[in-house]
Chains A and B, each alone.
Chain A
Amino acid sequence: MANHSATHPKHVHHHFVDSNQQFESAKLGMWVFLVNEILFFGGLFCAYIVFRAWYPELFTQAALELNTFWGAVNTVVLIGSSLTVAMAIRSAQNNQKRGLEINLLITILLACVFLVIKYFEYEHKLHLGIAPGSFWNPTPEIAAVLDHPKANIFFGIYYMMTAVHGLHVIIGIALMIWLYLRARKGHFNSEYYTPVEITGLYWHLVDLIWIFLFPLLYLIE
């Protein structure tokens, strides 16, 4: 708060004393936001637990309809993107502009791969009539295997969880495109890389939530 004329670097907002205070604040703010995200998904996990406790046989039966292979590929893709985003932060800390750009691009690419695979999974399900809620209209073959009267509830939860997660992936892509454009303009260096760092934190959480979603939805035996 003290003297903010001469010693204040350009990236430090007027109400912060110094760069470090701004960095620490941004980071704490993001952690608080992540706690809030966990509780947001917590509601969905809670609904999952309740209905799985009530209809355990439905969950094992319905999970067979999900494609474990592509689910696993997506898990690897997201974990890989978590690695590259961490490398992007490292590059920013080491003033490696090129490395930062490349790592951000790879992360964006992996996130898109995730969404494309997810799209094909959705498309396949909708084709079979496994649609949420009132659009539930399975083909006779599916209906023969999935003869549980409450089968729509599992897929209601499945679509809610994966769609809300997918929305987070899309937001993450938008954030990283923004970071990439700023990185190209040379906005980030070892003195100032706060946006890269906190977007990285966000991205790790998106990854982490998928790591819980994958076994809970796909790997039920």
Chain B
Amino acid sequence: MANENQDSKAVDVSQEIKGRIETKVKYLQELDQAIDQHRDRDVYRLLDNQRYAKEIEHREQQPNDEGVMSLVDDLADQLSSYLSVNLIKYLGKTYPFFYYEEYQTGHYRIYFGNWWDRRRFGELDVLNVRFSFDQTEYEMLNKSFALARKNKRYNSDRINKISSENDRLQDLIDHQREREEKRQHIQEELKDINSHSGLFESSRNRATREELVAQLQKLEDQESESRTAAQTIKENEQVVLALSKENTILSYEQKSIIDTFGSFEDFELANRNLYADYLKSLADDKDAGKQVNAND
């Protein structure tokens, strides 16, 4: 009994194995052919059937067969490199301001723009057809768009603050002589007052003296600050240049997005629809290809 049971079980299992193997072979064959003929849309369908069904065919509830799909897990980098060719060609037209660097097989860094100084903006996830933006960088852009609505630039406040600090320091440098004259004057006064001090110094005299000492101290503080002011101004100018550069980069980015998409919101919308839009464009291309073949 037990044996029989086991036998029938073995039959079931072997059937199941055969079935599974067939599915896997069929999957690999399909993928093989799709790769062979560079049918990228089919490759994407095979790599993520669930998403494909949902976003392209609008069929919800289509679970992925992980057992099959995991077969090519170790080929992710190669598949990414393979699929990047057409994707980057497409993105070159739709996002003309992004540049990509394949820093290792199948891994792409995104650069925003090709201008004099530009930002690294995250990575391109080829297999999932999505931008994986660096959140800090992306947030800066988002904020700069919000500020632009108020006619402000990202670093304006900081630049203004440093600039007025530089004006103050320059003023210190410019008034070195006046300070010196004032200091001598106060010292004279002090000498005068000190001669009246002593045990029976009047409280008024003492107050004046303390006031003069305080003034002298203030002048000396200013003097010592002015000694390093020139250097500080220079350093501040470097900071202002760096901040202005950042402003410029952000304004170039805003300009590019507006030129291509009209607004930041439309840019974000395009990012969300990228998978569907891209695969649809592949379908169009394929139809076009078929027609050419039919004519042959």
Q: Do A and B bind each other?
A: no
